[in-house]
Chain A
């Protein structure tokens, strides 16, 4: 059972690490399917991460941060589009230029604004809701202690509170006793529900960071074997962007294969001349595609700086944009395989953290260096041996020139 639990935790960590890859790879999928090669995923993510962290810090709202991140990324995507679609420039060169630009610009701006060496100030988890306590809501000792920790700015953790109580702080003990409310049937049940809803809403709106969401029934299901931990540990307790990334996979598949937009998008990437003949503007389709790419990269960047971490740090994408491109090729430009590939990459990275210094049965302790090389070794082996030929969309990378 212990092994099972560590497996669940490993998958949990894989999901967290795979999320930015999934978002970036889907972003790449849209524009590559429309015939625009985008090396600039990395730069767009980095720009979005910076814009999101800066805005979230200044406005105190993670949602404003998300919007700013998307906006920054879309601007960069339009720049890419302007160079490659309108001016038929080299797509790889434009992408690399964007990466270089952002890599240099973000720390410079960050340092000029915050004087922290190119980082942005750390985001807090939001001011915990210290407002209304509804009547009739039952409060036991644990809940009372949690409330005091929330409301008292001097206390950050329960541990601090218990330490103070053990040290004999009579004032705190009295405050806890004053908060205790015994449950009354039905009324307290309704009021507790209302209270939970109010707290949740306020936390959701005022957060400066995307914090984990506990899905309903996670507590109730906890004692159930297998299903309990799978639901409680693996599925519940992620931030909203993780769920968004997973939901975007079927959505992308539906858009790509079941809508008119998707059909045209794929056609523009395979045979733009035919699309043009049918009276559809190739440039317009491609611009739409790069905007979608910008939006998705923006979410990926915001995830990095306001959900997975709590600040922007220079070069925080650390090659994730390129890894996403690799995943895209690995998955042969198809949405569901993109998800699986990204999960595999995330899994390998999560494994790396856990295998260090752990004695593996039969082999003994594996050297750190070998474990850290594992994702790359596996990628090469899988790409060479199992995936077979990856054929890119036919018009990918070729600027469209209308025949005269």
Chain B
């Protein structure tokens, strides 16, 4: 490089000099990325890494659940971890690759949207153990964790049906994807399991990942459903849900949270939260890698595995009567025992059930 620069300086060609300087600068900047060693961990060291998705680490919902799980693991195991927050779609692959390059031995990818990127990067780094939540990838070094969200949604749907006084309940989804449709479908099944005559309103916030972080629109969608007579609204929309819960609190209606226990966000108007134990999944993925029990393949978590459920705490204990609790627990047992089947929208992309 020094040679190239020297030659250019001797010559009169201005463009050449500039080119060489630019080249030198590029090489300098790219240096650390190519240099193995320094940032890389020693073989055998356990370095977990997590890549959060759009919506951000503190969306109080899906990503925050994963964050909590990872934090708990790091504290218990006494290790530090690498992290990356995706803020636009192009960064997913970069983020994953950077984690792998900087020596992570186990990488956790949050969210269905990272599936394509994980598929590419996992093939490039066959020795790194990847875990993805909410998507299925068939590679020898990838563990896929999926949830039967429809089962948890079914239970909160029942609660909504028992709490409504107007006979109309609502659903606000985030991005319009099969996963969110599965939430909606399970919810509707739960509502109609209690009373087939109830009406379920359904809105999706948008069709791009920006729909996970648009509380203004979420609030407006919720208000439109309240105007149409709904008095309980279930939001499965990441950060957008915050607007939904606010709108419910402002108008004195009930809302249902999602993924993490969100009852504390608007105490008194949060009927419950449909819990998806992504924190447990995140924690267990790293714990398994650490103690050597990690295996590639599919992990399907539902009510039976306590992967999904509904939240009851001091914030909503007044809103859920004993009668409601008993009914939901009975339905839970029936689903676990296989006496009640909850249809999964994703199996054939439709939501046909006996209403």
Q: Which residues of A contact B (CB under 8 A)?
A: 6, 9, 13, 16-17, 115-119, 122, 125, 155-160, 163-164, 166-167, 304, 308-311, 313-316, 318, 349-350, 353-354, 356-357, 368-369, 372
Contacts and interface: CB of A to CB of B under 8 A. Distances in A.
A372 B213 contact: no
Given A125-B250, A316-B216, A157 B204 contact: no
B215 A309 contact: yes
Given A13-B223, A309-B246, A163 B319 contact: yes
B227 interface: yes
B57 A6 contact: no
Nearest to B204: A368
A4 to B, nearest CB: 13
Interface residues of B, number: 40
Which of A116, A117, A315 has most B Cβ within 10 Å?
Answer: A117
10 closest residue pairs by CB, A with B: A156-B268, A117-B58, A9-B227, A160-B318, A353-B224, A117-B56, A157-B268, A356-B203, A353-B221, A354-B224
Nearest to B240: A313
Contacts of A17: 220
A354 B202 CA distance: 10
A160 B220 CA distance: 25
Contact of A157 (B224, B228, B252, B265): B252
Nearest to A169: B318
B268 A116 contact: no
B302 interface: no
Chain B interface mostly helix, strand, loop or mixed?
Answer: mixed
A117 B59 contact: yes
B103 interface: no
Contacts of B57: 117
A104 to B, nearest CB: 11
B201 interface: yes
Given A6-B227, A163-B318, A318-B216, A357 B203 contact: yes
Contact of B228 (A6, A163, A318, A349): A6
A304 B216 contact: yes
7 contacts: A13-B220, A118-B56, A122-B242, A156-B269, A158-B252, A309-B219, A353-B203
B72 interface: no
B217 interface: yes
Contact of A314 (B213, B228, B249): B213
Nearest to A233: B227
A316 B215 contact: yes
Interface in B22-81: 56-59
Contacts of A318: 210, 214, 216
